[in-house]
Amino acid sequence: MRPMFPTLLAAGLAAVCSPAWAADPAPEIQRPTGTAQAVGAAHTLRTIPEACARLEGVFTADAALPYKYAVVRTSPQCQPRARFVDFAKAKPSLAGGWKLNDVIRVPNASCPSQQAVVRVWRLPADNTPKLDGQGSARVYLQEAKENAAAGKKLPPVTMYAAEMKVEGKACGG
């Protein structure tokens, strides 16, 4: 009798290396499918506090554009520690250091076969401040202003980008 280990190993590798797995890596945040939303009802998809941003979406009655979403600033007083960038310009990819951060699925309440899927990507930045002789991180506002005015390179910040697609069959109407 031959051992089954090589066969099981080959089957396991085939499952892990399948194109579907490679195309959509596991997101950093795991979440269930969201609550079905009615057409015309604006809803928050996700808030990203460090970017002072909220993703807001709405199903429309327009067959050509069944779902719209926008990045909305959470508060004028909020001081962002991360940036939200345009997905088309940033072109996030795993090879570029981006991580699939979140996949948000929202069903259409009036058309259960259709759902909006928003994929949020994150590009982490190593922006750990340098420690002084006392082991504290000190940020001096005047020094930062002078460096910015002199055109010196500012420390990198984490960036976020999101793409939205509507999946499933459209309902007649």
Q: What is the pLDDT of residues 43-67, one digit of tens each?
A: 999 999 999 999 999 999 888 999 9
Classify residue 110: in a domain, yes or no.
Answer: yes
pTM of the model: 0.73
Residue 84 lies in a domain: yes
Q: Which domain holds residue 116?
A: 25-129+156-168
Structure tokens at 16: 């892990």
**Mean pLDDT score of the chain, rounded to an integer?**
83
Q: Answer whether residue 148 is part of any domain.
A: no
In a domain? residue 75: yes
- Please compute the mean of the pLDDT values over residues 79-101 and round it to a whole number: 94
DSSP for the chain, written as a single string: ---SHHHHHHHHHHHHT-HHHHHSPPPSB-------B-BT--EEEEEEGGGTEEEEEEE-S-SSS-EEEEEEES-TT---SEEE--HHHH---TTTT-EEEEEEEEEETTEEEEEEEEEEEEE----PPPB-TTS-B---HHHHHHHHHTTPPPPP-EEEEEEEEEEEPPPP-
Domains contained in the chain, number: 1
- 9 belongs to a structural domain: no
pLDDT of residue 100 exceeding 60: yes
